[in-house]
């Protein structure tokens, strides 16, 4: 089975793509405005059975790359597999789901890949196959189904990661970054400055920002802005909310200030983003053909 695709626009906020590992190595993902998460599924090294995840070949290892971390560089050079790329805006995880499926799973990527034991191969294969079929479909609610299968795949991988790493699964919660993320999820509509989080964590604002930058490549202030912008985009895509409604819901009394912040963080005005999102929902995703 050979997979070829007409790739979706990597600069679109609701970005999802599933492509062969070999193709992604030949055509690296371009730099984009929207940070992307990467999942690489590697199959058994059985050349006689054909392409990965088809016929007799099954997924055996799963690698994870957070935004700014090139996941393909840690995958063995001769490995075959599939690569999933998606944005925060596409998967739409919030609260405990966001902490569990993004922060814990992707920020533990340095611990190595998640191994898929025999008893879980069928589940992972089914989910990957479902993602491929939905990506190739033009059916109604395709995007919602893609999101649902993707979230379920991440849940399975998180469970496997916890089983394999044991006590290490609590590493993120115990560290400064994990505690910062927990506070951010609870207070991003109220606290807008690094100093407010640092005070609660009993460290200086500079120490918090430097520590978070070392951990993630971005300062604490950028994480705060991204979380606010993610919720703003979610409100637009789910509720078609106005600029004033979004600003007030996110704790901004000055709508003009929020409007300027939105443009500075996303590169487009709020009204342009809203039109872009509405147009994306009214048109089908680019078709991914499987032959």
Q: Say which residues have a Cβ less than 8 Å from residue 162's Cβ, sequence separation at least 6.
A: 169
Query: What average pLDDT does range 18-28 have in this prediction?
Result: 84
- For the CA atoms of 6, 33, 40, 150, the dihedral, rounded to the nearest 10 degrees, stands at -80
pLDDT exceeds 90 at position 221: yes
Give the mean model confidence (pLDDT) for residues 146-170.
81
Percent with pLDDT over 90 in the chain? 29
Say what the pLDDT of residue 190 is.
93
Q: Are residues 222 and 271 in the same domain?
A: yes
Q: Tokens 């009214």, residue?
A: 282
Question: Is residue 230 assigned to a domain?
Answer: yes
Q: Mind listing the pLDDT tens digit for each residue in 93-120?
A: 877 677 777 777 786 555 578 899 999 9
- Give me the pLDDT at residue 65, please: 85
Q: Who's near 283: CB < 8 A, 6+ residues apart?
A: none
250 secondary structure, DSSP code: T
The CATH number assigned to the domain holding 224 equals 1.10.10.60
Three-state DSSP at 290 gives: strand
CA 193, CA 184: separation in Å to the nearest integer? Answer: 11
Check if the beta carbon of residue 208 is closer than 8 Å to that of residue 198.
Answer: yes
**Could you tell me if 198 and 147 lie in one domain?**
no
User: Which of the 8 DSSP states describes residue 170?
Assistant: G
User: Over 70: is that where the pLDDT of 169 sits?
Assistant: no
Statement to judge: residues 233 and 112 lie in one domain: no
Query: Is residue 252 pLDDT above 60, yes or no?
Result: yes
pLDDT for the residue numbered 104:
73
**Placement of tokens 């993902």 in the chain:** 29
Report the C-alpha dihedral over residues 240, 264, 172, 169, rounded to 10 degrees.
50
Q: Considering only 16-20, 73-77, 227-231, which range has the smallest mean pLDDT?
A: 73-77
Q: Which helix (H) or strand (E) holds 39?
A: strand 36-43
The reported pLDDT for the residue numbered 269 is: 92
Supply the range of the domain harboring residue 235: 175-279
- Residue 137 pLDDT class (50, 70, 90 cuts): confident
Q: Give yes or no: residues 76 and 132 share one domain.
A: yes
Report the relative pairing of strands 288-290 and 59-65 from DSSP bridges: unpaired
**Could you give the angle at the alpha carbon of 291 between the alpha carbons of 1 and 53, nearest 5°?**
25
- The answer to whether residues 161 and 52 belong to one domain is yes
Q: What is the pLDDT of residues 24-75, one digit of tens each?
A: 888 766 666 677 888 999 987 544 444 445 444 578 899 998 877 767 877 8
pLDDT at 228 over 80: yes
Which position has the higher pLDDT, 145 or 109? Answer: 145
With respect to residue 10, please indicate whether it lies within any of the assigned structural domains. no
Question: Can you read off the two tokens belonging to residue 114?
Answer: 């998640």
Lowest mean pLDDT of 46-60, 177-191, 207-221, name the range.
46-60
Tell me what pLDDT residue 256 has: 94
In a domain, 291, yes or no: no
- Give, in degrees to the nearest 5, the angle at Cα 75 between 176 and 169: 30
pTM of the model: 0.62
Structurally, the chain folds into a number of domains equal to 2
**Mean of all residue pLDDT scores within the chain:** 79
Q: Ranked by mean pLDDT, which of 78-87, 214-223, 236-245 comes out on top?
A: 78-87
Q: What is d(CA 102, CA 68) in angstroms, rounded to the nearest whole number? A: 14
Same domain as 258, residue 223? yes
Q: Is residue 117 part of a domain?
A: yes
Q: What is the pLDDT of residue 13?
A: 67
Residue 211 lies in a domain: yes
């Amino acid at each position: 089975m050979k997979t070829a695709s007409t790739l979706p626009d990597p600069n679109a906020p609701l970005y999802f793509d599933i492509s062969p590992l070999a193709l992604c190595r030949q055509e690296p993902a371009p730099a984009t405005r929207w940070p992307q998460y990467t999942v690489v599924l590697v199959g058994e090294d059985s050349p006689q059975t054909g392409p990965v995840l088809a016929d007799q070949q099954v997924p055996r290892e799963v690698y994870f790359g957070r935004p700014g971390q090139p996941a393909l560089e840690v995958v063995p050079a001769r490995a075959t597999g599939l690569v999933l790329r998606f944005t925060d805006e596409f998967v739409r995880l919030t609260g405990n789901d966001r902490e569990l499926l993004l922060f814990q799973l992707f920020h533990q990527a340095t611990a190595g890949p998640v191994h898929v034991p025999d008893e879980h191969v069928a589940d992972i294969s089914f989910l990957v196959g479902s993602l491929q079929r939905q990506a190739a479909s033009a059916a109604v609610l395709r995007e919602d189904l893609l999101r649902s299968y993707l979230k379920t795949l991440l849940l399975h991988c998180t469970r496997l990661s916890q089983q394999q790493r044991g006590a290490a699964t609590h590493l993120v919660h115990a560290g400064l970054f994990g505690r910062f993320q927990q506070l951010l999820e609870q207070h991003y509509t109220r606290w807008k400055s690094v100093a407010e989080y640092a005070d609660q964590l009993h460290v200086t604002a500079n120490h918090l920002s430097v520590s978070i930058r070392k951990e993630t490549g971005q300062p604490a202030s950028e994480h705060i802005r991204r979380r606010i912008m993610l919720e703003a985009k979610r409100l637009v895509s789910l509720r078609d909310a106005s600029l004033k409604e979004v600003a007030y819901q996110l704790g901004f009394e000055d709508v003009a200030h929020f409007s300027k912040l939105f443009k500075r963080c996303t590169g487009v005005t709020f009204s342009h983003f809203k039109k872009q999102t509405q147009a994306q929902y009214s048109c089908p995703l680019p078709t991914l053909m499987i032959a």
